[in-house]
Structure 1
Amino acid sequence: AVLSPAEVYRATLEGAAYKVAAPLPKLVLMGIASGMYIGLGFSTCALVGGNLSPEFRKAQPGAFAALYSLIGFPLGLVLIVFCGGDLFTGDCFSSLVAAMEGKISVLAGLRLLIVSYWSNLVGCLLMVGLFDGGAIYPGRDHYLIHLAEAKCSLGWGVVVVRGILANMLVCLAVWLATAARDAGGKIVGIYLPIMSFTSIGLEHSIANMFIVPMGMVQGADVSVGRWIYANQIPATIGNWIGGAIMVGLLSAGIFGSPGARAWAAWERGVAGTRQRLRECTSADRRRSVGNVQ
């Protein structure tokens, strides 16, 4: 059994209200934990699928993308959902719809986004330190370095659009996980969109908080300034648009009270237009009859 889309929408509102009401230290810890989970998930796929040979990656890009996305990265969101984390990209969706529905204030939604973003960063950087301290990547870092450099070599517009698509899939993964009522269903619901996101090669601002700094530690030719300007800022903008507008605004229009009010106004407008047309038609007929007489 699964929740209906309307029930998922209502559960999203309740989740946002719960986070806003949580004490700040708890919210920070939830965000830090989520950043750590993202680092664990990415490292799993980078150290397994990413260590397929560069020759194979170039000769069989489709097969490489499939193998790379199959292993590891969905783990990050699975841990966040099952362990009760707070991820910025999911908050882009939930904070907007909760504010539109009056469940939280706009300022409370903005606070949620700011706290989750910076606490996610702390969690990601903590994992960078742990992986570096454990000497996990040396000798197995060729794809990580390639990916960090590639992410910071794209144009702003490209990163923004990839960020939009990335967070559409992430928010839809959370939607499916919320709809499922058992652990297996939640895992499958998360796995499919995140596998799609990873194999396509999109831009997730929180994942990049781990990927690029970890690559820099391993010797990627990227400066902090270049990372922030060329990747982190446009990816964040794209992620907000993807979560808030492409998923949030659409779901509010379909399942929420803002949509219901808009459709009611539309129906009133259509009814009024029909009434005016009938009145105009009747007036024309009366004039025609008068002219004939």
Structure 2
Amino acid sequence: MSYVNPPDFAKKMIDAGEAKVFMSTKDTLIRAYMAGAILALAAAFAVTVTVNTGNPLIGALLFPVGFCMLYLLGFDLLTGVFTLVPLALIDKRRGVTMKGMLRNWGLVFCGNFAGAFTVAIFMSIIVTFGWSEAPSAVGEKIGHIGEGRTVGYAAHGAAGMLTLFVRAVMCNWMVSTGVVAAMMSTSVSGKVMAMWMPILVFFYMGFEHSIVNMFLFPAGLLLGGNFTIGDYLIWNEIPTVVGNLVGGLTFVGAMIYSTHHRTSPELSRDGAPAEQPAAVPAE
């Protein structure tokens, strides 16, 4: 059967995190760049569909195509490595250190941003005919998204920051569930179906994804959005990155690790912990 049992995919998660720590700088950057670019294209696609149909649900239904493509191609998003790499550190895999984990996160962040920013420039050219005329309806929509999700939060002060952070936490709860869900199957169709569901939820609910925002907000600035780089960093990107880290590691990585990889002893029939078999001494 193509279904992978939870204890088995929990081990695959740790193995994947370990592999990413030791990946070369070149490969890490290329895979992160392509992941950021493909996800940005998917976001641009979803916004275009939403504008042309007037129905945000259709855009959300189609957005996961980008996530599925980048995952099947073996590319890396910051949201995914936030969840997988710490598990290798927690599991005390040989050679995995805090420095190695932070190196991976830093490289993936830079690669994701470069890829998303490339698409932001390309889309800005497309929707303005090379900045020779006013943005199209799609360009205007992208600009307004940037305004609403920066100065819109700022207008609510601390309550806005809290809302932004919680949306970022819930985003990577869903996105990392999609990453893990792909490990539940050995078939391409099974992986796609498993990934599609949580990614659809995050996008339609308007949760905050740090890599999607690496496209939407720079593109909004290029298209004349009424917010600043400071607004983008303080009232979106930085809190979103932190929230994505908390959401993915806490609600996905740590939960699966603690219950499927470090399973507690079962209870005996009388309610007390069952005795565990004695460890076999190493020869």
Q: Same fold (TM over 0.5)?
A: yes
Q: 1:227 Cα deviation (Å)?
A: 0.3
Residue 159 of structure 1 pairs with residue 164 of structure 2: yes
Question: Is the helix fraction higher in 1 or 2?
Answer: 1
Query: Counterpart of 1:140 in 2: which secondary structure?
Result: helix
The answer to whether residue 111 in structure 2 is matched with residue 106 in structure 1 is no
CA contact (8 A) 1:168 1:247 kept: yes
Paired position in structure 1 for 2:145: 147
Give the deviation of 1:167 after TM superposition: 0.1
Q: Retained in 2: the 8 A contact 1:180–1:186? A: yes
SS in 2 for 1:222: coil
Q: Is the 8 A contact 1:51 1:143 kept in 2?
A: no
Q: Which residue of 234, 246, 249 maps to 1:244? A: 249
> 1:134 Cα deviation (Å)?
3.3
Q: Does 1:86 align with 2:84?
A: no
Deviations 1:17-76 (A, max 9, x none): 2222211111111111111011111011101113344xxxxxxxxxx34222112x2122
8 Å CA contact retained: 1:138, 1:218: no
Equivalent in 171, 176, 182 of residue 176 of structure 2: 171
Q: How does 1:134-283 map to 2 (within 5 A)?
A: 134-135=126-127, 138-152=136-150, 153-154=152-153, 155-257=160-262, 260=263, 263=264
Q: Secondary structure at the match of 1:134?
A: helix
Percent sequence identity is: 22
Q: 1:74 aligns with which of 57, 64, 68?
A: 64
**What code does the residue aligned with 2:24 have?**
P
Partners of 1:166 and 1:203 within 8 A in 2? yes
Q: Residues 92-138 of structure 1, C-alpha deviation per residue, up to 9 Å, x if partnerless? A: 11012111111222221121111111211111111112222334763
Contact 2:10/2:260, CA 8 A, preserved across alignment: yes
Distance in 2 between residues matched to 1:52 and 1:79, nearest whole Å: 24
Tell me the matched-pair count. Answer: 254
In structure 2, C-alpha distance between the alignment counterparts of 1:139 and 1:93, rounded to whole Å: 36
> More displaced, 28-37 or 248-257?
248-257
Q: Distance in 2 between matches of 1:271 and 1:52?
A: 59
The equivalent residue for 1:131 is 123
Q: TM-score, normalised by structure 2?
A: 0.84
- The one-character-per-residue Cα deviations of 1:157-204 (angstroms, maximum 9, x if unpaired) are 111100000000001111111112211111111111111111111000
SS at match of 2:58: helix
2-structure distance, mates of 1:244, 1:27: 20
Q: Is the 8 A contact 1:69 1:199 kept in 2?
A: yes
- CA distance in 2 between partners of 1:140 and 1:239 (Å): 27
1:291 aligned partner: none
TM-score (norm 1): 0.81
C-alpha distance in 2 between matches for 1:245 and 1:140: 36
Larger Rg: 1
Cα distance in 1 for residues equivalent to 2:104 and 2:202? 25
User: 2:279 is matched with which residue?
Assistant: none
Distance 2:144 2:183 in 1: 35
Structure 1 residue 271 displacement after superposition = 6.9
Separation in 2 of the partners of 1:4 and 1:271?
27
User: Are the aligned partners of 1:46 and 1:68 in contact in 2 as well (CA < 8 Å)?
Assistant: yes
Q: 2:127, 2:138 within 8 Å by CA — same for their partners in 1?
A: no
On the 8 A contact 1:19/1:112 being kept in 2, the answer is: yes
Would you say the 8 A contact 1:51–1:142 is kept in 2?
no
Residue 48 of structure 1 aligns with an amino acid whose one-letter code is V
State the one-letter code of the partner of 2:87.
V
Find 1:122's aligned residue among 114, 123, 126: 114
One-letter amino acid of the counterpart of residue 6, structure 1: P
Q: Distance in 1 between matches of 2:142 and 2:123?
A: 13
CA distance in structure 1 between the partners assigned to 2:22 and 2:105 by the alignment: 14
Letter of the aligned partner of 1:148 in structure 2? G
Contact 2:171 2:247 in 1 (8 A): yes
Structure 2: where are the runs of 5+ without partners? 129-134, 154-159, 274-283
* SS in structure 1 at match of 2:85: helix
